[in-house]
Amino acid sequence: MKYDSKHAQPQTVKTPCLVVGIFERNRGDHNLDALDEASSGALRRILKKGDFQGRCGETLMLYTVEGLAAGRLLLLGLGKQRDLTARSYGEAMGKAIKLLQEANVGRLAIALPDTGDSYHMVREAIIAAESAIYRFDQCKSEAKEPRRPLTQATFITHDRRHLKRMQKACGHGLAIANGSQLAKDLGNLPGNVCTPTYLAEQARRLARGKRRLKVTVLEEKDMEKLGMGALLSVSRGSSQPAKLIVMEYKGGKPGSKPVALVGKGLTFDAGGISIKPAQAMDEMKYDMCGGASVFGTIAACLELELPINVVGVVPSSENLPDGNANKPGDIVTSMSGQTIEVLNTDAEGRLILCDALTYTERFEPAAVIDIATLTGACIVALGHHASGLLANNDHLAEELGRAGEAANDRVWQLPLWDDYQKQLDSNFADMANIGGRSAGTITAACFLSRFTKHFKWAHLDIAGTAWVSGNDKGATGRPVPLLTQFLMKRCKVID
């Protein structure tokens, strides 16, 4: 959908459908007052009947309100006025868009409430709207098109002072939504389509015709030369060759240190010889969602032309059982020279990430953030709401925490204390690849911390947030909003 913003009084807006937010307990605001007056009190008479209460996300479509220029009026509950946030506004807007998609409107206008942060409300509304419209039908023989697709949404304010921020939010919101959508598409593709080779091809495609993006793909023979024994040990059990995808986005001053994003790109994780149970194993096609979020964030950088340098590094492989596969007890040598005893072949994410992290040193990054569906334990700890955050630098952790809040894509920090490191002791190698039953998310990060000594580093465990299971199974695109927010803030495109 296209988005823009305009200064106007709500009653004068000519549109097939005007969406107006209504707060619980009929607390009026300028929009309600103006529309009520133009309709000679019809609106408040309707609200007085009490059917519509204004709970967040509640909707009521009105077709016969006289005195308004709009063809329809959609009342959208926003909850209690004092609880209004960009997040709740987005949640409500998602419901409105779902409903309007089934209607015959095509275009709509949205009267923005006076209160609240207009920039973040518009941005969140757009992200929620695009998310409500999103469908993944690349693999259906016939795509189900909506009867009348929505093509245009215009945010209306009666207060000119908001306009600049709203316009900015339109561009930012759509870029974040588009980046998230790319991450969702890559995530939702099945493992037999989205292989390491496919991901590498998508990276090249992203760079096509774009001066600011340079893509390099390291093949297995290149990785052998670099001594990436940990990464290569994982792909040995698969007939799909591993790829190390490197995307250099050059939007900043030449020579200014890049932010590096390192994303786990495990295109299917069967567990290897330590094979997983059959239950929900299909969902392990989502084990490349960290990598997908790097693609999505780079795409957002391109769309926003952010003035910053970013390097995306995506180690990509499958993890399957086979005669050549890693066996429990095997010892591999990482690019860093440290040796690893593979006690569980299902702890493969850290094996591909450790070599990618060592490789990232050559970019002399200002900061490194890795993103990975790394541990089931993270779902036990935090559920599906927050991504896990662990870092060797408190400033970086705080910066990410704030970005997550602002982008409605939250993280929660877990400790990375040395106390946990000894769980990785191995009798036969420098370290084991698993740390026992307790604190699985922390010991996984402890493992990675041994490969991130030379830079400021944060790790995002997105096992619980990258996709949803059940009837609405699908990738979420997280944490593209968080990462994009982090970068926008770093290069001062927003304050």
- Encode burial over 169-190: b for 16+ CB neighbours within 10 A, e otherwise: bbebbbbbbbbbbbbbbbbbbe
Q: How far is the CB of 122 from ligand BES (least distance, A)?
A: 33
Please tell me whether residue 287 binds Zn ion under the rule CB under 5 A.
yes
Burial of 333 (0-12, 13-18, 19+ CB in 10 A): middle
Q: How far is the CB of 181 from ligand BES (least distance, A)?
A: 22
Q: Which residue matches tokens 């803030």?
A: 489
Q: How far is the CB of 429 from Zn ion (least distance, A)?
A: 21
Question: 54 with 107: CB under 8 angstroms?
Answer: no
Per-residue string for binding with Zn ion, 236-275, x by CB under 5 A?
A: ------------------------------x--x------
Smaller CB distance to ligand BES: residue 149 or 376? 376
Q: Catalytic pick from 165, 184, 243, 350?
A: 350
Per-residue string for binding with ligand BES, 306-325, x by CB under 6 A?
A: --------------------
Smaller CB distance to ligand BES: residue 164 or 422? 422
Residue among 180, 159, 165, 171 nearest 495 (CA)? 165
Residue among 356, 278, 350 nearest 312 (CA)? 356
Rounded Cα–Cα distance for residues 94 and 127 (Å): 9
Query: Is 276 a catalytic site residue?
Result: yes
* Interacting span for ligand BES (CB under 6 A) from 3-11, 35-43, 100-108, 375-383: 375-383
User: For residues 339-368, which are near Zn ion according to CB under 5 A?
Assistant: 349
Paired residues of 62 in beta bridges: 73
Query: Is 204 a catalytic site residue?
Result: no
Question: 13 with 39: CB under 8 angstroms?
Answer: no
Per-residue string for binding with ligand BES, 327-346, x by CB under 6 A?
A: -----------------x-x
- Encode burial over 352-376: b for 16+ CB neighbours within 10 A, e otherwise: bbbbbbbbbbebebbbbbbbbbbbe
Coil vs helix vs strand at 362? helix
Member of 71, 190, 329, 376 binding ligand BES (CB under 6 A): 376
Burial of 385 (0-12, 13-18, 19+ CB in 10 A): exposed
User: For residues 340-399, which are near Mn ion according to CB under 5 A?
Assistant: 346, 348
Smaller CB distance to ligand BES: residue 36 or 348? 348
Tokens of 395: 């400033």
Residue number of the CB closest to Mn ion reads 346
Could you tell which of Mn ion, ligand BES, Zn ion, none binds residue 377, using a CB distance below 5 to 8 A set by kind?
ligand BES
Paired residues of 340 in beta bridges: 332, 431
Smaller CB distance to ligand BES: residue 54 or 237? 237
Judged by CB under 6 A, the number of residues near ligand BES is 15
Per-residue string for binding with Mn ion, 264-303, x by CB under 5 A?
A: -----x----------------------------------
Residue number of the CB closest to ligand BES reads 376
Contacts of 73 (CB under 8 A, 6+ apart): 17, 18, 20, 35, 43, 61, 62, 65
* Interacting span for ligand BES (CB under 6 A) from 99-107, 168-176, 177-185, 373-381: 373-381
- DSSP class of residue 295 equals H
Give the residue numbers marked as catalytic.
276, 350
Binding site for ligand BES (CB under 6 A): 269, 287, 344, 346-349, 373-377, 434, 440, 463
Binding site for Zn ion (CB under 5 A): 266, 269, 287, 349
